[in-house]
Each structure stands twice: as structure tokens, then as C-alpha cells.
Amino acid sequence: MKKISTSILSLAGLSAGMFLAASCAAPSVNPSVQATESAPPVVHIPVYAAPVTVFEMRVLDFDKQVRVVEKPTLAALDFAAYFSNPIRMAGMDEKPENYTGKKANASIAEYPFPMLDSISEYEPDAVAGVAPIAWEPFAKILYAQTGDDALTKTLNEVEAVKWDEPDVFRAFQTVSRLWGIPGTGENQGKVEWWAEVMPAVWTGRAPFYGKLKIVSGGESAEVLNYYMTAEMNAEEAMNWARTLSSYWYPTLNTDLEQHTPGAIWENSRANRPFAVMRGNPMGKPMWVAFEVPAFRLTDEQLRAAAVADSLAAAGEVVPVNRTLDTSSYARLETLASLENSCPATPATKKFREALKKKLAKLPKEQNAWADNGMLWFRRNANYLVADKISAQDSLHNPLPRMIELKQYLESQNIQLLVVPIPVKEEIYADKLIKGTDADLCVNVNGREFIREMLAAGIDVLDLYPSLMAARSGDDAPHYSYQRYDTHWALPGMLAAMEQLASRVTQYSWYADANPQPGSLVMKDTVVLREGDLVAHLADKEKSKYPADTLAGMKIYKGDKAYKGGKNAPILLMGDSFTGVFESVDQKSGGPGSLLAYATGLDVQVLTSWGGGPGVRSRLKKMKKDMQSKRLVIYMMTARDFWQSPMEWDGI
């Protein structure tokens, strides 16, 4: 047996994609796995010749890495994303203020892990030749496929052990590697689990290994086998990267950089990743790129792609003659409706004080909490108790930047419509703070900022009344916003899109844009979505909130899922609210597709997963595409109006 160094930089193993498999059909069971009366089932788990295949990690700089995966299995990509990722680990080496080290000198025999059958400081012989996996994404897929959450609960329990210091919020240890191996003896035909546990740096402990007391049935083995062996193509891998970035965004401020998949990155011919993720969890950006040799572009392919892009840029976009709708009727009507619509009252003061007290009681590092059957986001709550939004410093005040964007677009005869999305905590204030009236408008300064934008001449669609009306039709446990997520659910999104479509059809140029109503088809669907707030909870709480099954819609053009093209007269741009259900989850069922269905106009979508402020720089690079645009809809969560981690720099 060998002892593993804590400084290891590259690790054996295939790893896997996050939620991609969760939306696929369950793997078919090999007939040879079916149990018989005379013999236990055979468990198919990949075992590799030693040494186990490694993913290569290239450290380009202190803030840039490339992780190379030979075979793009779901397991391999996940492991490359999760294992020792600096974006995920940022700030985790700092000792918590309230940590006392009460059991810092405990011997391994005294370790408080009753969920482990055995504990060792050495890597067990049982896992030799077996590739490790990242447990979090696999456990979610396993639950989605089999309904078995025992693995999730057990590993959450491992990570939640506090060593008699329950007031320390941060995890004392994480499960860094997981192995599933064929069971022996009475467990033959099942899967046994082994875990590497990596203590936090500030504990001073070395990694250790344990066998979990739980075992899983043969169906779990089939899911594990599929997870570790089924390879993705380039498009599926990009979907994996988009999904990963979208789910990590609330925690780690992640986004995907604009990069041609397989092209050279950082001016190095050796690095040709298919996706580049930027994260900014602690106020300083860092990048982790993912590369698969099969997806690399050769120099000849790069030249051909450049020529194709040049030809497409020159000929694909058809410029249109545009005229601005200069009518102020809708803007002034909205402005008038906001006058005294959300006044500061004793009731709003009481709400703010109660929310501030709740936030003050949360551990410093806790960004989400559970109450009244929902999960709540700290940044959303901070927005509700914000001071005057337009009084922020120049890097955080959105107002001058919105005016600048309006002037930039109008110089090209392109209309701008700003669509702030109210936060869940604003729509469900009564569930957030008990004793609050359900119809009380609590976001005094947020509503005032919308009024200021309108008064400055910016066309703003105020969704608050529509979303408040939508929540009155909630049918628990289904709501207008997702219970465990920051985003809206289908009822809220449909209410918003109905209002948005109505506004679009009122523009004087709408008929000139040649709408084609009835050209698209809408079909009902469902999506299984892991709430993006679950990762913010205390470790012992996470397993209480499994993925939600949500109703959805999917838009088709003929027999193909809808996607707007470069000649679309409408550009919908913004943060994850433009991308959720549109480019992740069931896809082609988000705001862009629904707006196209409702208006009969093509809608191109531009999403910045890292936050609404960041999408403007991408807009500036779309000069050719903008020749076809009549309207830019800027849709983003309203929380980024207040102390956004992505600064509002100029376009």
C-alpha cells in the first residue's frame, strides 16, 4: 500500500460531466446482469491496467490551467472539473475565525466517522486499477436514474463532520475521490464504495481513506459503467461545460469565455481546449480550460475555420433598414404606474429590519438558507435591503451604463428594452420573513431604481406586477420560482414572456420585421433540475433537497429544436435567466424560444453566465450580427444592480 501526497497535482482516473446524463434515459441493462436463481448478477465496472489513465494538468500561470482528458466520458470530464479545481478551492485554505482546533491531535482511531466501515491513512489495495470519480455529480445522476439517494446522504455526512465544533460553517473535509468496485462475499453482485477524504489545509490533517458502510445494487453498477465508459461528442461536451458553468455561477461567479472550441488558447500551440471557464469566487479571476485531443483543431482546420467565419461574417447577416420607435407612451405609462407604488412604510421598515437580523445571524460564509420550504440566496436578500442604488460608486452604479448602452444602440437605430428580473425573495417576501403580508411591496429602493431608469429615458419592462399575479396561482409544491434555485419556474417565466411579447408587438416597426406567427410548435416537457442554491447550504443539509422535476415547454421549428439565427431582428442578451431552459436543461424552452413562438419573430440569444453586466462587452463584438437587429432586450436578475461582483465598466 502506498501513502498519497497531499500535493499531488494530477490524478489517475476518468471523470464525468455534471448533469448531462441526468436528463438522458437510464442506461439499458446488459442481459448478462440480470439475476438468476442459481448465480448472483455480474457487476460491470471498468477496471484499468495499472497505472490508471490520468488527466494531464498544465499549469500556465498561477491563475490559468489546462486540463486534458484523453477520452471525453462524462466521468472523465467531471473529475477534471471537480478534482482540486482552484476556482472551487479559492479561499478554502484560510482558517475560519471561530476554529479552535479542539480535536486537532486526535489519532486516526478516534476519527468521528461512523458512516465509514474502516479508516486508513493509506490508499487501499481494493481500489488498485479502478478509476476514481467525482462524487457530487455522479451521486446526483445516480439519484436521477435509480431514485437511490443513500450515496449522497452518506457522503454529505462525511463532509459534514465538525469535530465537536458545530459553529464552524466551512467544511472540515471533502470527499476528493470516490471508487465503486464489485462487491465480494455477501455483497457479490453489488457495488462497494471507497472514498478518499481530504481534510481542509487549516486542520493540519493528512488525507485518509474509508470504505462506506452502504452498498448499492446492480442497477447502480450499470449507471456507473455507463457514466465511466460512454463518450461524448464535441457538441455534448460543450453542453456539459455550459451546464457546469451555469450551476456553479451563483457560488463561484463562473462563465465560459468566448473561445472557438479546439482552437489555440493563450497563444500556445500546445493548448487547444474546447471550453475555457472563468471563475471569480474571491474578487480575482482565474481560468480552467478543458481539452480533449479528439476535439482539437489542426492548423489547417483553424485556417479553414477562419476563412469560413470570414465568409459567414461577410455574407450571412442581411442588413435591414431600421427606424426607431420614438413613442414614449409605454415608458411614460410604466413610469406613472410606479409613482408611490412601493412607498417606505412602517411595514417595509419592519421587513428590512427583520431581514437584516436574519442575515446577521447567518455564518459569514453561508450564502443560502432554508425556510418555509424554499431556499433563499444571500445576495438576493442583500439587494432587498440595499441603499439608494444609483448612489453607488462608478464601477457599481448601473444607471450611467444603461444610458451609455441606450445611446450606443440608438446611434445604429436599434431599440433597447431593459427587463430586470425581480428576485425570488421579492416575490415571496411573506415566505422569507414570517408576518409579512403577501402583497406588501418590500423592495423600496429597487423599485425606485426602475423609476429612475424610466425617468432617464430608458425603456424598461416592469415584470413585478405580472410575477406577483403569477404567484397567486401557485399550486404547491410548484411555484412561479423554483424552490431550491435562484431562477423562475415555468409559471413565472410564462407570465413574464406574455408581457414581453405584448410589448414587442406594440413597436411601430413590428409589422415591417415580417413576423411569422404560427411558424413554430410548442410541446410540453419536463426537466429534472438540481437547485443552484443547494451547494450554498451547510453540508449536513444538502441531501435534504434533491433535484426537482419541473414542467417545461420546448419550441420546435419543424422537427428540430428551435434556435435563433444571426439574422434575427431581436437580440435577447443577459445573464443566466436568458440561458436557463434555453441552452441548458431541456433547451429551446427559455425566454428566447418562448418569445419567438409568441411574436413570430426570430430571436437570437446571447448569455453571460457570469452575470448581466458582463454581456455588454460581448455585444460590442457582434458588429456584423447587429446589422440585422431592430431590438436588443437586456434581461438580467435585478440583484446585480446592487454591489455586483462583476463591475459595470464601460462598453
- Span 554-564, average pLDDT: 95
SS3 content of the chain, % helix, strand, coil (to 5): 35, 20, 45
**In the predicted structure, residue 47 carries a pLDDT above the cut 90:** no
User: Is 512 exposed, middle or buried (CB count within 10 Å of its CB: 0-12, 13-18, 19+)?
Assistant: middle
> How far is 355 from 384, CA to CA, in rounded Å?
9
Query: Does residue 426 lie within any of the structural domains?
Result: yes
**In the predicted structure, residue 193 carries a pLDDT above the cut 90:** yes
The per-residue pLDDT for 308 is 66
With both helix axes pointing from N to C terminus, report the angle between 135-146 and 218-229 in degrees, rounded to the nearest 10. Answer: 130
- Span 376-382, average pLDDT: 97
How does DSSP classify residue 570? E
The per-residue pLDDT for 309 is 62
Residue type, 479: Y
**In the predicted structure, residue 6 carries a pLDDT above the cut 60:** no
CA distances from 492 to 398, 422, 481, 521, 552 (A): 25, 11, 6, 21, 11
The per-residue pLDDT for 435 is 96
For the record, the C-alpha cell of 345 comes out as 412604510
Query: Does residue 610 lie within any of the structural domains?
Result: yes
Residue predicted with more confidence, 620 or 342:
342
Query: Does residue 410 lie within any of the structural domains?
Result: yes
User: Is 218 exposed, middle or buried (CB count within 10 Å of its CB: 0-12, 13-18, 19+)?
Assistant: buried
Q: How far is CA 328 from the centre of its chain?
A: 37
Contact between 133 and 229 (Cβ < 8 Å): no
**Mean of all residue pLDDT scores within the chain:** 89
- Span 349-365, average pLDDT: 95
What pTM value is reported for the model?
A: 0.83
CA atoms within 13 A on the CB side of 430: 9
CA distances from 186 to 45, 183, 215, 603 (A): 18, 8, 11, 58
Phi first, then psi: what are they for 141, rounded to 5°?
A: -65, -40
For the record, the C-alpha cell of 8 comes out as 499531488
- Other beta carbons within 10 angstroms of residue 299's beta carbon come to 9
The per-residue pLDDT for 310 is 64
Contact between 579 and 246 (Cβ < 8 Å): yes
Per-residue pLDDT tens digits for 430-466? 999 999 999 999 999 999 999 999 999 999 999 999 9
**In the predicted structure, residue 367 carries a pLDDT above the cut 50:** yes
Per-residue pLDDT tens digits for 270-303? 999 999 999 988 888 999 999 999 999 888 888 8
How does DSSP classify residue 270? T
The per-residue pLDDT for 22 is 35
**In the predicted structure, residue 84 carries a pLDDT above the cut 90:** yes
> How far is 432 from 384, CA to CA, in rounded Å?
11
CA distances from 73 to 78, 142, 189, 289 (A): 9, 16, 24, 16
SS (HEC) of 88-118: HHCCCCCCCCCCCCCCCCCCHHHCCCCCEEE
For the record, the C-alpha cell of 84 comes out as 482540486
Most distant CA atoms of the chain, gap in Å: 81
Per-residue pLDDT tens digits for 204-253? 999 999 999 999 988 999 999 999 999 999 999 999 999 899 889 888 88
**In the predicted structure, residue 365 carries a pLDDT above the cut 90:** no
Q: Which of 50, 57, 46 minimizes the C-alpha distance to 11?
A: 57
For the record, the C-alpha cell of 386 comes out as 440595499
Query: Does residue 568 lie within any of the structural domains?
Result: yes
Q: Which of 567, 624, 570 minimizes the C-alpha distance to 313?
A: 624
Domain total in the chain: 1
The pLDDT-based confidence of 40 (bands split at 50, 70, 90) is low
Phi first, then psi: what are they for 45, rounded to 5°?
A: -130, 130
Contact between 467 and 439 (Cβ < 8 Å): no
- Span 585-601, average pLDDT: 94
CA distances from 573 to 312, 411, 474, 493, 608 (A): 22, 19, 28, 16, 8
CB neighbours of 26 closer than 8 A, spacing ≥ 6?
A: 145, 146, 223
Lowest mean pLDDT among 7-21, 156-170, 217-231: 7-21
Query: Does residue 484 lie within any of the structural domains?
Result: yes
Q: Which of 133, 128, 127 minimizes the C-alpha distance to 223?
A: 133
Query: Does residue 206 lie within any of the structural domains?
Result: no
The per-residue pLDDT for 25 is 31
Contact between 511 and 601 (Cβ < 8 Å): no
Residue type, 505: T
The per-residue pLDDT for 9 is 25
Contact between 203 and 92 (Cβ < 8 Å): no
Residue predicted with more confidence, 188 or 443:
443
Query: Does residue 182 lie within any of the structural domains?
Result: no
The pLDDT-based confidence of 53 (bands split at 50, 70, 90) is low
The per-residue pLDDT for 34 is 39
The pLDDT-based confidence of 184 (bands split at 50, 70, 90) is confident
- Span 306-319, average pLDDT: 69
Do the bridges between strand 173-182 and strand 191-199 make them parallel or antiparallel, or are there none, so unpaired?
A: antiparallel
Helices (H), 421-575: 424-427, 429-432, 444-455, 464-471, 490-505
Q: Which of 560, 559, 568, 561 minimizes the C-alpha distance to 516?
A: 568
Residue predicted with more confidence, 144 or 199:
199
Contact between 410 and 629 (Cβ < 8 Å): no
Query: Does residue 1 lie within any of the structural domains?
Result: no
Per-residue pLDDT tens digits for 382-421? 999 999 999 999 999 999 999 999 999 999 999 999 999 9
Contact between 163 and 123 (Cβ < 8 Å): no
**In the predicted structure, residue 50 carries a pLDDT above the cut 80:** no
The per-residue pLDDT for 113 is 96
Range of the domain at 498: 331-355+367-391+399-641
**In the predicted structure, residue 7 carries a pLDDT above the cut 80:** no
For the record, the C-alpha cell of 628 comes out as 440585422
End-to-end, the C-alpha distance of the chain in Å comes to 57
Contact between 417 and 634 (Cβ < 8 Å): yes
The pLDDT-based confidence of 183 (bands split at 50, 70, 90) is confident
The per-residue pLDDT for 590 is 95
CB burial of 617-650 (b: ≥16 within 10 Å; e: otherwise) equals eebeebeebbbbbbbbbbbbbbbbbbebebebee
Q: Which of 514, 635, 508, 517 minimizes the C-alpha distance to 581?
A: 635
**In the predicted structure, residue 380 carries a pLDDT above the cut 90:** yes
The pLDDT-based confidence of 621 (bands split at 50, 70, 90) is confident
Residue type, 160: A
The pLDDT-based confidence of 49 (bands split at 50, 70, 90) is low
The per-residue pLDDT for 32 is 35
The pLDDT-based confidence of 352 (bands split at 50, 70, 90) is very high
The per-residue pLDDT for 189 is 86
Lowest mean pLDDT among 3-7, 64-68, 544-548: 3-7
- Span 125-138, average pLDDT: 93
Q: Which of 268, 476, 505 minimizes the C-alpha distance to 374?
A: 476
- Other beta carbons within 10 angstroms of residue 263's beta carbon come to 16
The angle subtended at Cα 356 by Cα 353 and Cα 362, nearest 5°, is 145
> How far is 564 from 196, CA to CA, in rounded Å?
46
CA distances from 395 to 107, 390, 450, 625 (A): 51, 11, 19, 28
